Structure 1
Amino acid sequence: MIEAVGIILNYRKKQPVLMGKQLVEKFKEKGIKVYAPQKDADALNIGGPYLTPEEGHKVHCVLTLGGDGTILRAARYFASQNIPLLGINMGTLGFLTEVEVSEIDNALEKLMAGSYWIENRMMIQAEVKRQGETIKQFSALNDFVINKGPLARLITLEIIVGEEYVTTYKADGVIISSPTGSTAYSLSAGGPIVYPELEVTILTPICPHTLGARPIVLPSYKTVQVRIVNQAESMLTIDGQNGFPLEKEDEIIIAKAEHNVKMIRIKEKRFFSVLRQKIKNENYVFYE
């Protein structure tokens, strides 16, 4: 019996907010409490108490209303609490979401009946060190990107995997992604498509000034250390949503996170069919 659910939505857009309010009423009719983080709750007019990661144990699962960006935000917010996410696509691409708007009623019926399965997705974490001290830590579902500032100047990055020196890139930056993130920015930069159930990290340089640089796939137990050798207003970007300014000689250590994201799946496994459909929708060619 589900007693409470959480909702995270793209509260900057009208349609997710309207749909969220409809879902709140549906859950109330069934005697199910609805919680949300403060900004989401304000958009839904449901007030407090607000849903925080520490209070995540109150809810059976979290529904996300939006696109992949909403899923990424929810993953970073709740993954450490092992709260499963059900993504409802109200965005554009929707690689990570599970159901479309037209499928919501059927999805809710299956959710109530417990007719679903859980897919675990690996997350990655980053530790920023400055003068030997840790100054910031982050987690991501898709990727961390270390890139240059707005001026057309290369950044120099030293790459160490585990304890072994790999190379020094002169490039626009580098992407370190999870298998989930392999179909995001890394794909656009020439990185490989990685099946999401694998536990690896992908190192993809962005426009390296060399003829020989290639993406590298690494086992998840290996750490990736990136040192800013020549700083050009560089930035660490987390899942394409949050940024942290970097300085010369900063070290960014990226590793597999201690927790996974739990994704509620109602349909059968269909990674390649989703990949074909989504990429075709974006006017790309993907050969079957």
Structure 2
Amino acid sequence: MKLRFTRVALFGKYQPLTSSVISDSSRNAVQEVAQFLRNEGCEPILEQETANNTGISDYPAMPVEQIGKECDLGMVIGGDGTMLGIGRQLAPYKIPLIGINQGRLGFITDIPLGEHASALRPMLHGEYEEDARPLMHACVMRQDECVFEALALNDVVVNRGSTAGMVELRVEVGGHFVSNQRADGLIIASPTGSTAYALSAGGPMLHPAIPGWVMVPIAPHTLSNRPIVLPDSTDIAVEVVGGRDVSANFDMQSLASLQHGDRIVVRRSEHCVRFLHPRGWNYFATLRKKLRWNEGGS
């Protein structure tokens, strides 16, 4: 069979510390997958920071922007946190991504490292399931000016500081006032993020095919303040009315400090992240495995 992908970019899991230290296991994982790709007839290309931090110099290295323009496929070797960051950066280029799980949970990096060869070989030849996940676009508005904006794949979270009391938030959906909420914070999650922080805060899981979001209060003052599922075709605006040390987080990787009167406006982005999975993959099998549900039968 003819190769479907030839130029494959590799993104490794590392901690960009001042010492640029990376564990031997992470370095070995990148090296192992790169060698496998070369044996299969692909051209492995390392993302520049991955190359710098692993010290692997056997393959060409490129920054993310160049990878987006020149590569056919990206492989993320790490956990879901690594995938979130890479997915946001590569979404505008429409490059599909495969996740090789070196973390502990792995909802979106679903191929175990020890099984990468058997899983990847047919995928490189076009045997895969494709799964498109929309991104969220969030903007912090201050006196009619956007002072901070970011993309998120999982969620946008407005919450209090670690030593502060509750925050008070004014919520609008589609331009309509919903409520003033007093809580530790508020989560607006995509279907992808519905199995992350939103789930631990009591929110429902949304199937990835649902064009919606879930809005989940964190430890609300009023017990009747419950999670609600909303269409992703409408904007959600969250205004900071009260509270100290209030911040907005975007996939827990971007941070904006907020002032009273700031509005966080969340809307569906024009970009999607394209995930590729082994043939036969389905969402419910992932939930059973990762959440350790009792399958009951075959």
Would you say same fold, with TM above 0.5? yes
**Matching residue's letter, 2:71:** V
Number of the residue aligned with 2:43: 33
Q: Does 1:187 align with 2:190?
A: no
Name the stretch that deviates more: 175-184 or 96-105: 96-105
**1:24: Cα distance to partner?**
2.2
Change (3 A) 1:242 1:104: same
Equivalent residue number for residue 188 of structure 2: 176
Aligned AA for 2:178? V
Give the TM-score normalised by structure 2: 0.89
Contact 1:35 1:51 in 2 (8 A): no
Distance 2:215 2:149 in 1: 19
**Take 1:169 and 1:286, find their aligned partners in 2: how far apart are those partners?**
37
- The CA deviation string for residues 265-284 of structure 1, in whole angstroms up to 9 with x for no partner, is 1132422222122122xxxx
2:127: which partner in 1? 115
2:111 aligns to what? 99
2:18 paired with 1:8: no
SS in 1 for 2:14: coil
Deviations 1:98-131 (A, max 9, x none): 3112211112211221111311112111011111
Using the TM superposition, give the Cα deviation of residue 152 of structure 1 relative to its aligned residue in structure 2, in angstroms: 3.9
**What RMSD over aligned residues (CA atoms) do the two structures have, in Å?**
1.9
Give 1:7's aligned amino acid.
L
1:156 deviates by 0.7
The question of whether the paired residues in 1 share the 8 Å contact of 2:158 and 2:248 is answered with yes
Q: 2 CA distance for matches of 1:112 and 1:276? A: 26
Give the Cα–Cα distance (whole angstroms) in 1 for the partners of residues 283 and 34 of structure 2: 31
1:172-223 alpha-carbon deviations (Å, 9 max, x no partner): 0000000011111101111111111111011111011012101111111110
Per the alignment, do residues 14 and 267 of structure 1 end up closer, same or farther by CA in structure 2, a change over 3 Å counting?
farther
Match of 2:18 in 1: none
Is the contact between residue 35 and residue 41 of structure 1 (CA under 8 Å) also seen in structure 2?
no
Change (3 A) 1:260 1:159: same
- Indicate the residue corresponding to 2:222 in structure 1: 210
| Alpha-carbon distance in 1 for matches of 2:248, 2:113 | 34
- Pairwise mapping of residues 84-163 of structure 1 onto structure 2 (< 5 A)? 84-163=96-175
Instruction: Identify if the C-alpha distance between structure 1 residues 246 and 14 changes in structure 2 by more than 3 Å, giving closer, same or farther.
Output: farther
Partner residue in 1 for 2:19: none
> Are the aligned partners of 2:36 and 2:117 in contact in 1 as well (CA < 8 Å)?
no
Equivalent pair of 1:6/1:51 in contact (CA under 8 Å):
no
SS at match of 1:156: strand
Q: Mind listing any 5+ residue stretches in structure 2 that lack a counterpart? A: 16-22
Give, in angstroms, the shift of residue 52 of structure 1: 1.9
- Note the residue ranges of structure 1 that are not aligned, 5 or more in a row: none
What is the number of equivalent residue pairs in this alignment?
284
Pick closer, same or farther for the CA change 1:90–1:198 going to 2, 3 Å.
same
Question: 2-side partners of 1:234 and 1:56: how far apart?
Answer: 35
Letter in 2 for 1:247: Q
From the superposition, tell whether residues 277 and 130 of structure 1 become closer, same or farther in structure 2 (CA, over 3 Å).
same
Deviations 1:122-153 (A, max 9, x none): 21110111111011211111101110011140
Partner Cα separation in structure 1 for residue 289 and residue 14 of structure 2: 27
* TM-score calculated relative to the size of structure 1: 0.92
| 1:105 counterpart SS class | helix
Partner of 1:43: 53
The structure-2 alpha-carbon separation of the partners of 1:236 and 1:15, relative to structure 1 and needing over 3 Å to count, comes to same
Give % identity: 33
1:251 aligns with 2:263: yes
Structure 1 residue 230, shift from structure 2 partner:
1.0
Could you tell me which amino acid in structure 2 is paired with residue 17 of structure 1? Answer: R
> Could you tell me how far apart the structure 1 residues matched to 2:141 and 2:99 are?
34
State the 1:287 CA deviation: 8.4
2:28 to 18, 24, 30: 18
What is the alpha-carbon distance in structure 1 between the residues aligned to residue 53 and residue 264 of structure 2? 36
Q: 1:54 Cα shift? A: 5.1
Letter in 1 for 2:207: Y
